[in-house]
Structure 1
Amino acid sequence: MTIQPAKLSDPAVRAFVNAVNAHDREGFLALLAPDATMSDDGSDRDLADWIDREIFSSHGHIDVDNESRGGRALVARYRNDTWGEMNTRWSFTVDEDGRIARFETGQA
């Protein structure tokens, strides 16, 4: 059963999912801490390159199935034009200003 983005517990994660699903690159970037980092399947990636390739140029979309850790860990079906749909896990570190300092994703 999908959790509607508006029902996600953590405000930063809720905004992240909404920005991805709305293809709102500017809004997405505003959610990130200035020195934000990320990893995909356990390997650190170049954030700007990854989000362009995996989210914005390929029409990424997140359907959240489960959340834990106060909303900062998700299990979701992620799809984009490059890879189709896959089961993924997402983990977020949110800084004291409420911005995403790091996110980690990979296949679930």
Structure 2
Amino acid sequence: MTIAPAKLSDPTVRAFVTAINAGDREAFFRVLTPDATMSDDGSDRDLNDWVDREIFESNGRMDVQTESSGGHGLVANFTNETWGEMRTAWRFTVADGKISRFETGQA
């Protein structure tokens, strides 16, 4: 069962998922702190490079299956034109309405 982005508990995470699914890079970066960091499968990555390659240049999309930790943990089917669909886990560090770090990897 998929959780509609509008139903996600945390408004910051909701904006993150909504921006990805809309292909809206500007809205995506508005929800991040200027010094935000991220990791993929346990390795820190260059955020701008990763986001462009894995999300915006390859039409990435998140279909959220479950949420936990007050909305700061998600399991989602993530799809893009490079890798197809994979089950992924996402963890967010949120402060003052902005995401300072997100971690993703296969679930």
- 2:26 paired with 1:26: yes
For the residues of structure 2 that align with 1:12 and 1:80, how far apart are their CA atoms? Answer: 22
TM-score (structure 2 length as normaliser) = 0.99
Contiguous gaps of at least 5 residues in structure 2? none
SS in 1 for 2:49: helix
For the residues of structure 2 that align with 1:67 and 1:30, how far apart are their CA atoms? Answer: 22
Q: How far 1:13 sits from its partner (Å)? A: 0.4
Equivalent residue letter for 1:45 = R
For the residues of structure 2 that align with 1:98 and 1:6, how far apart are their CA atoms? Answer: 16
RMSD: 0.4
- Please name the residue that 2:17 is paired with: 17
Contiguous gaps of at least 5 residues in structure 1? none
TM-score (structure 1 length as normaliser) = 0.98
Q: How far 1:60 sits from its partner (Å)? A: 0.2
Equivalent residue letter for 1:88 = T
- Please name the residue that 2:98 is paired with: 99
- Please name the residue that 1:7 is paired with: 7
Aligned residues: 107
